[in-house]
Structure 1
Amino acid sequence: MVALDAHHTTPSGRTIMTNSRISGFRNLSIEDRRAKVIVESALDARRLDALSPEHGLGLEQADHMVENVIGVLGIPVGIATNFTVNGRDVLIPMATEEPSVVAAASNLARMTRDHGGFVTTSTPPRMQAQVQVLDVVDPVAARLRLLESRQELIEIANAQDPQLVSFGGGAVDILVRLVPSSRQTYVVLHLVVDVRDAMGANAVNTMAEAIAPRVAEIAGGRSLLRILTNKADLRITRVRAVFDAAALGGGEVVENMLDAAELAVADPYRAATHNKGIMNGISAVVLATGNDTRAVEAGAHSHAVDEHGRYTSMSRFEKDAEGNLVGTLELPMPVGLVGGATKVHPAAQANVAVLGVGTATELAEIIMAVGLAQNAGALRALATEGIQRGHMSLHARTIAVTVGAHLDEVDAVVARMIAEKSVRTDFAEKVLAEIRAGARA
């Protein structure tokens, strides 16, 4: 077994010695789960109060976040256990309404622990803004003129955000592309900005607005669009993990998982569902931490288009020399810890505290580990019992509660639905009526 160093010191100096391998966590009460998370994450006892509906996002806060507020929507937050990321055990909050997601990620993370867990690397946190220039008579020469003006444009951009520059970020480069269209050839300048621990949209958009007049003047045209691109292909996070063959179910299961994964590589119809499974894990952590799920999803799916313009699998799976399953995943991961809902939403703040992350890069790497675990979990289900058995077992509990089953009735209703392979509302109502009739007899 690989020795793991679970110590972690946050920017505030708080030392965490988390153990994410919590046996029987799912069988604890909500109160006991919270207590366990508080202990393992070394949090103040009241830190998770924001995850209770009565203490979470209020109407007054919501009214300052978006327009025309009439209320707030609750989403279940579960804790993914068993994760070791770059040698550190971490408990991971996931916000999702879909059954089986948290359980699958936790289960597959357990199967990596004897092989060192998840190992990640990241590029610098660089986002890009595009400035579109129209009506350029000499676009090829205009491109070179803009490249010659690189330093001038970078200085104009950085003057807009001296604080970001003081933290070691700011505009670092420009790229210029010629984009032919049915109307004309557009000159499109990309401003490359190191956004540090921010997602970066506001910073790069402000800089793009500032340089646009000068860009148009140099190019000899007029500027139109001045906005970031969510194809964040300069901000890549990579993760790899070894999933133990015996824990997965043996060599035959590994082979079936490899064939299931390869269909997603070869077939865009399968890739769409395969990648959705990856995003089940990724989006749940992105949402839990108050980050922009749409931006992350757009960047991830655009990255899944290969050099031939074909939509394919985001992940890749292989077999190592010992017969274990090796999974890898590389995606843009534009998330932040400063600004936006991450700093406004009390539940997002609580979830970030549970993670104990100090940088946006560290957050991105944990998110990617969950995406890979979730993907492996879906592949294993497909390669063995089929996706419906595990999914519907958890879905059955939701149906039981929906039809009005009390806490002491839920397990019996679920057991009947699973036994008779009839996970439906009408059948649950029938079972519940029979249980109650029997109790009165």
Structure 2
Amino acid sequence: MQNYGKFYQKSWEERINHISQNEKLTKEQIQILKNSAHNKSLGDTMIENYITDYSYPEGIAFHYLINNKRYLVPMVTEEPSVVAASSHGAAIIAKAGGFLAKTSERLMIGQIILESVEDSAKLIIEIQKLTKDLLVVADQAHPSLKKRGGGTRWLKTHILAEDLVVLNIAIDVQEAMGANMINTMLEAVAARLEAVLRQQVLMSILSNYATECLASTTCKIPYELLSKNGFAGEIIAQKIVQASRVAQLDTYRAATHNKGIMNGIDAVVMASGNDWRAIESGAHAYAARNGQYKGLSTWKISGDYLVGELEMPLPVGFIGGSIGIVPLVSLNQKLMKITSARELEQIIVSVGLAQNLAALLALVSEGIQKGHMRLQLKSLVIAAGANVAEEAVLVDKMLQADKRDIASAKKILTDYRKKDKNG
């Protein structure tokens, strides 16, 4: 590998030249890097060793009716059918009266791990005596949070192993996701513990398992709205309930069930400038909270209705981090017409349930591939070299020929252009 020493100290132009020369990039490849670098100053602000911007498409999902308020929902994703499925699921639920969504307290958990503990029970008693003082120390480390009505709420301790004790501190982070402020507060508490108790601290870090920052949503759909492909709505509802049951019983199915939910959730989290990796890790931990990994959503029959429910940790922010510096995030907040992190949580969890409904509805009525196929073929023919004007015709020809591979797409495109040229 070539020497890239102190790459971060170079200007953007120098970085591009350095990579181009060392990796022997073609003129076309160099131009791709340059053309994709849309905001160099922002990129340098956000990450290290910035060279270019890697873009994902953003679309709008429609038909969301949540707590009697209608929303447009920006979604950032590279996967075909996600936005369409989201709108489809939301439209069905809107006809049934929409979603009822709510949130719990917005508390994040910070952890301080103490190691080399000789007497765990004794140490916990000593920490409990210091609880009030430790909470004050944490709040003093970030006084502006306390002034805004946030700050510490409680401190709990428990034994992890004979030599390990953990302190969990719950912090109200207000409208931010709060990672940096939490870590600052934890480090202050850790320093006090080391000074007063002479206790060795292994680490101080927030947890992304935000069990004190939950969002939930429900919907109630009459059978008649579920009729599809000759199946009665009641039959479709029963099949969805059974599919939901399988996701509670089988981990292999649960993983894919939850991936479908996260298709929608991640897309909105990204569009809102939040950390989708944190949301993913917390969601999957929550899915396994009872000792077995299960589907996050549940569907059941109540009278003549299909009732869906989804609850999960959603510690998203409305301010702070990349939210405040990426212009598109502010625009997306305006499109959603949201005014708080709680409202954003309610939208995101509702999108997850709508996405889940659309996926299950497709699975039990026609199979998932039929709904995906046209959008997948669209990507395939573009990759084969079709332009926008040729795209729809080529997709139809691929479907007629029952072909799904890039070689067939290229041949069909070549044949089409020859025929078009010859009249």
Corresponding residue for residue 311 of structure 1? 293
Q: Contact conserved, 1:378 with 1:387, CA < 8 A, in 2? A: yes
Q: Which runs of 5+ in 2 are unaligned?
A: 1-33, 228-232
Q: Distance in 1 between matches of 2:55 and 2:222?
A: 36
227 and 57 in structure 1: CA distance in 2 versus 1, 3 angstrom threshold: farther
User: Which residue, 392, 396, 399 being the options, matches 1:418?
Assistant: 399
Residue in 1 aligned with 2:160?
A: 179
Alignment of 1:144 onto 2:122:
no
Within the candidate set 237, 248, 259, 1:276 is matched to 259
Which residue in the other structure is 2:280 paired with? 297
Which of 99, 104, 129 lines up with 1:118 in the alignment? 99
Matched residue SS, 1:72? coil
Q: Is the contact between residue 38 and residue 53 of structure 2 (CA under 8 Å) also seen in structure 1?
A: yes
Shift of 1:325: 1.8
Q: 1:243 aligns with which of 210, 217, 221?
A: 221
**1:137, 1:220 within 8 Å by CA — same for their partners in 2?**
no
Higher fraction of helix: 2
Q: Does the aligned pair in 1 maintain the 2:298–2:310 contact within 8 Å?
A: yes
Q: Which amino acid aligns with 1:243?
A: I
The aligned residue for residue 203 of structure 2 is 225
Q: Is the CA contact 1:57–1:345 (under 8 Å) kept in the aligned structure 2?
A: no
CA gap 1:60/1:332 in 2 versus in 1, 3 angstroms: same
Describe the shift of the 1:56–1:289 C-alpha distance in structure 2 as closer, same or farther (beyond 3 A).
farther
Question: SS of the residue aligned with 1:329?
Answer: strand
Helix, strand or coil for the counterpart of 1:111?
helix
2:73 maps to which residue?
Answer: 92
Aligned to 2:169: 191
State yes or no: 1:405 paired with 2:383.
Answer: no
Pairwise CA RMSD: 1.7
Normalized against structure 1, the TM-score is what? 0.84
| Structure 1 counterpart of 2:113 | 132
Change (3 A) 1:108 1:66: same
- The answer (yes or no) to whether the contact 2:60–2:83 under 8 Å persists in 1 is yes
Alignment of 1:269-418 (within 5 A): 269-307=252-290, 309-322=291-304, 324-418=305-399
Aligned to 2:6: none
Counterpart residue type for residue 260 of structure 1 = A
Structure 1 stretches of 4+ moved >6 Å: 53-56
TM-score, with length taken from structure 2: 0.88
Structure 1 residue 205 displacement after superposition:
0.5
Query: Are the equivalent residues in 1 in contact too, given 2:36–2:54 (CA < 8 A)?
Result: no
Between stretches 169-178 and 341-350, larger displacement belongs to: 341-350
Q: CA deviation at 1:240?
A: 0.7
Aligned residues: 384
Query: Equivalent residue for 2:240?
Result: 257
What displacement does 1:425 show?
Answer: 1.4
1:218 Cα offset (Å): 5.4
1:80-103 residue CA offsets vs partner (Å, 9 max, x unmatched):
000011111000000000000000
Residue in structure 2 matched with residue 20 of structure 1 by the alignment: none
Q: Distance in 1 between matches of 2:36 and 2:385?
A: 26
Whether contact under 8 Å (2:139, 2:146) holds in the other structure is: yes
Amino acid in structure 2 at the alignment position of 1:316: T
Letter in 2 for 1:278: I
Q: Distance in 2 between matches of 1:316 and 1:147?
A: 39
CA spacing shift, 1:146–1:57, aligned 2, 3 Å: farther
**1:219-268 CA distances to partner (integer Å, 9 max, x unpaired)?**
55211110001111111111111234323221111111111111111001
String of CA shifts for 1:376-414, please: whole Å, max 9, x gaps.
111111101111111121111111211121222111111
| 1:31 corresponding residue in structure 2 | none
Could you tell me which amino acid in structure 1 is paired with residue 397 of structure 2?
A: R
Shift of 1:57: 5.5
Post-superposition CA distance 1:49-86 (Å, at most 9, x none): xxxx9999511111111000000111010100000111
Whether the 8 Å CA contact 1:57–1:347 is kept in 2: the answer is no
Identity among equivalent positions (%) equals 37
Which has the larger Rg?
A: 2
Residue identity matched to 1:117: G
Deviations 1:292-320 (A, max 9, x none): 0110001000000132x111111111112
Decide which of 211, 216, 228 is 2:189's aligned counterpart: 211
- Provide Cα deviations, 1:97-132, integer angstroms capped at 9, x if missing partner: 000000001001111113221111111110011001
CA distance in 2, matches of 1:438, 1:212: 74
Give the conservation status (yes or no) of the 8 Å contact 1:111–1:244. Answer: no
More divergent stretch after superposition (119-128 vs 212-221) = 212-221
The code of the aligned residue for 1:311 comes to Y
